[in-house]
Amino acid sequence: MRITRSNQIPDVLLIEPVMPADGRGYFLELFHEARCREIIPARFVQDNVSFSRRGVLRGLHYQLKNPQGKLVSVLDGEIFDVAVDIRRGSPTFGAHTAILLSAENHLQVYIPEGFAHGFCVTGERALVHYKCTAYYDPAGERGIRWDDPSLAIPWPVADPVLSERDRSLPTMDAVEEMVFPVYEG
């Protein structure tokens, strides 16, 4: 596998797997704990899968009490995936990085704890797989508005399909500073 750091936020890792292929198809090793441990100093405890249709935007979400690092892959379809650094005191606080993940390019992104995460579906549908470093904690769930002008994220959809919750999330400026995780770099 080939690992590169995001130019915008070096803590976010882009992982390009080695994938043997021939006329029958391909073989993809989605996760290998020993190899992963060399690059991601975290233990994964929960796997999640979400299915969404074209134009759906999910996010930007994070957990405060039990922050989750996420290894994100797309099993079917294509997404525009975004990570926003919300760690108070971080040199990249408020910066974002975005990448196109798809079942065609097989790229994965590792988003460490302390980041808000979101994505929008750019194809007909998307089946997204997340490996998480902490269990989901509904009581600690927080979010930031997807179209926050201070973030200037170039989403590829103008009028996304949103959940009621995501539609009512605050901008970063409206979030109390103490509701963001602390940078420990």
Kindly report, residue by residue over 147-184, the tens digit of the pLDDT. Answer: 999 999 999 998 999 999 999 999 999 988 778 888 98
Torsion over CA: 107, 44, 111, 161 (sign): positive
Whether residue 136 is predicted with pLDDT greater than 80 in this model: the reply is yes
pLDDT of residue 46: 96
Which residue range(s) make up the domain with 83? Answer: 2-179
Residue 156 lies in a domain: yes
Model confidence at 141, pLDDT cuts 50, 70, 90, reads very high
CA distances from 89 to 44, 85, 170 (A): 26, 10, 20
Using CA atoms, how far apart are residues 58 and 15, in angstroms rounded to an integer?
A: 22
Q: Which of 17-26, 40-49, 173-182 has the lowest mean pLDDT?
A: 17-26
Considering the domain boundaries, does residue 185 fall inside one?
no
In contact, 101 and 55? CB cutoff 8 Å? no
pLDDT over threshold 90, residue 118: yes
Q: Is residue 184 part of a domain?
A: no
Burial classification of residue 26, based on how many CB atoms lie within 10 Å of its CB (0-12 exposed, 13-18 middle, 19 or more buried): exposed
Q: Can you tell me the mean pLDDT for 99-107?
A: 96
Q: Which residue out of 96, 110, 129, 130 is catalytically annotated?
A: 130
Give the number of domains in the chain. 1
> Which position has the token pair 């405890």?
45
pLDDT of residue 32 exceeding 70, the answer is no
Please tell me the distance from the alpha carbon of residue 86 to that of residue 83, in angstroms, as a whole number.
9
Decide if 96 is inside a domain: yes
Residue 18: which CATH number?
A: 2.60.120.10
User: Is pLDDT of 10 > 90?
Assistant: yes
Q: Is there a catalytic annotation at residue 61?
A: yes
Provide the mean pLDDT of the chain: 92
Which residue among 26, 61, 106, 110 is the active-site one? 61
- Closest among 145, 159, 175, 134 to 45, alpha carbons compared: 134
The arithmetic mean of pLDDT across residues 21-48, rounded, is 79
Are the C-beta atoms of residues 137 and 110 closer than 8 Å to each other?
no
Name 49's bridge partners: 129
Q: For this structure, is 110 an active site residue?
A: no
C-alpha span between 167 and 145 (Å, rounded): 7
